[in-house]
Structure formats: structure tokens, C-alpha cells
Amino acid sequence: MKAIISHDIDHISIFEHTFKDAIIPKFIARMHIELLSGKISLREYTLRWTDFFKNKWQNIDELITYNNINNVPSSFFIAVNRGVGLNYSNRAALLWIQQMQKRNCEINIHGIEFDDFERICEEHSLFKSLTKSENFGVRMHYVRNNNQTYSMLDKAGYRFDSTEYAFKNPYKIGAMWEFPFQIMDGWILENGKKWQSLNFKQAKENTIKIIDKAHQENLLYLGIDFHDRYFSHSFKTWLDWYMWLVDYLKNNNIEFVNYNMAINELEVNK
């Protein structure tokens, strides 16, 4: 089994959110719940206010550097449309796309359009024109999908999708590869709540269970989604969990690949 780690970019700055989209009030409520329930320290709580005043809600550069040191190819999903609490502009996205291109990352689209074929195609071509890339995949924001989504993504020309959560090997839908994923940071750390509800030890135990299950199911690739936003000391458990996970996989001789490397392997072995 190899691991594919990828990162969804849900936020870039804090003030891209107006009070209308409720993201800032939710952020403030969440950190108070987490402080009062003992899930975060006073230092983390203070650092969250620091992020707020620095207007910084992404950690893309820091994460790429960490990944490079650990031989993890950085693979990102970045959005070109707004929706469901995701509110950055194309201008902001493009600055980061250029930065990620310079640092040799794999860049894919964090999709907003999932249920209208015309809009899916528009989103696809907007991304194509911004990145000047022909060859990219998609993961839907909040993994939104219906029973038409995947076939519409295939018809729109995506090379792959990684929206499905399942213990299954990659498979083809038309010409598109579907890469189901098995580990999502928020589903582990929040465990059904809207705030961090597990401590580091519990998060590790639950993650090991998933990795063991992936082994039992003979998965070729373990899909992991970690949001760059949490690669920060202001989300210390998330940061510790990610660094522990990379180490754990390395210590278990699991190699890291990105989607394009995996597709090349799958197509050679066909």
C-alpha cells in the first residue's frame, strides 16, 4: 500500500469572509467551546486570535516545506468558485496557484459545482485557463455529490476525482479515475461534532484502526485529506496528528505518491 496525501484549500484569509457567511462567528464559537472543554490550550486560543489579526487562514508554504522534507509530494485542491463557506477570489487563488506551480506541486480543483453539467464544465474550463494545465483532477468541497456527479465530472474532462469516501481501490468511470479516500482530518479530530472532540491519543488510535482496515481490504492506495489551514500551532492537535501520521506511514514503509504518479502506475499495470 502507498499513501496519497492531498490538501483542500478552503480559506486563504479571514476577511474574505463577511459576517454574512457565518464563518467568523462559527470560528469564534468553536475556539471557546474547545478552550472550555479542555481540547485546546490557552496558547492555541491566543494563537487563533493572532491568526485573526494577521488575517491568515492558509499554511500552504509551510505545508509544502514540511512535505518536501518528508518526501511527501504536495497535492492541492484549490477552488475557482465560491460556495458553502468558501469565499476567496480567483485573484487570491491565482497567486497561490503560481506559488504552488513554482514549488512543483500537483494542483487540482476544489469543486463547487456538483449537480449542473453546464456549470461543472464552466468551472473546469475556468480552472484550465487560470492554471494553463490540461491535466487535473477534482475533489468537491464538502464532498458534495449526487448519483450524476461522477459521470458528469468524467464528461467534463477531469483526469480523476477524489470525492468518494470508501474502502475501495481506484476504478474508472469512463475515462476518469475515481480515487476513493479513507482518512479526512476533520472526521477524525471532530468525530461527528463541529469542533475538535478527540484528543491526540484518541485521534491516533482511530487513525491506526483505519490504516489497519485499509491493509485488510488490500487497498493499493491510502487516501488522506488534510486541510492546510490546520498545519498551524493554533490547531496544535491537528498539526501534531498530521506530523505523527506522516511519521507513522514512513515507519511502516509506506511510500508517498501523488495522484498522477498513482495513475501512471495503474495504467502501466493494467
Residue with cell 453539467: 117
Nearer to Zn ion, 8 or 34 (CB): 8
Q: How far apart are CA 1 and CA 239, in angstroms?
A: 24
Closest distance of CB 86 from Zn ion, Å = 6
* DSSP 8-class letter at 74: P
Name the region of 142 (left: φ>0; alpha: ψ -120 to 50; beta: rest). left
- Residue 59 contacts residue 243 (beta carbons within 8 Å): no
Closest distance of CB 142 from Zn ion, Å = 6
Nearer to Zn ion, 111 or 219 (CB): 111
Q: Please give the full DSSP string across 85-105, using - where no structure is assigned.
A: TB---HHHHHHHHHHHHHTT-
Closest distance of CB 123 from Zn ion, Å = 14
Q: How far apart are CA 1 and CA 210, in angstroms?
A: 13
Residue with cell 487513525: 207
Nearer to Zn ion, 8 or 185 (CB): 8
Closest distance of CB 71 from Zn ion, Å = 26
Closest distance of CB 266 from Zn ion, Å = 25
Nearer to Zn ion, 8 or 44 (CB): 8
Q: How far is CA 194 from CA 20, 67, 159, 186, 233, in A?
A: 19, 27, 33, 9, 19
User: In one letter, which amino acid is 9?
Assistant: I
Spell out the alpha helix ranges (H) of 148-221. 149-156, 185-189, 200-216
The residue nearest Zn ion at its CB is 141
Nearer to Zn ion, 48 or 141 (CB): 141
Residues that bind Zn ion (CB under 5 A): 8, 10, 141
Closest distance of CB 139 from Zn ion, Å = 8
* Opening angle at CA 144, ends 57 and 159, nearest 5: 90
Nearer to Zn ion, 88 or 150 (CB): 88
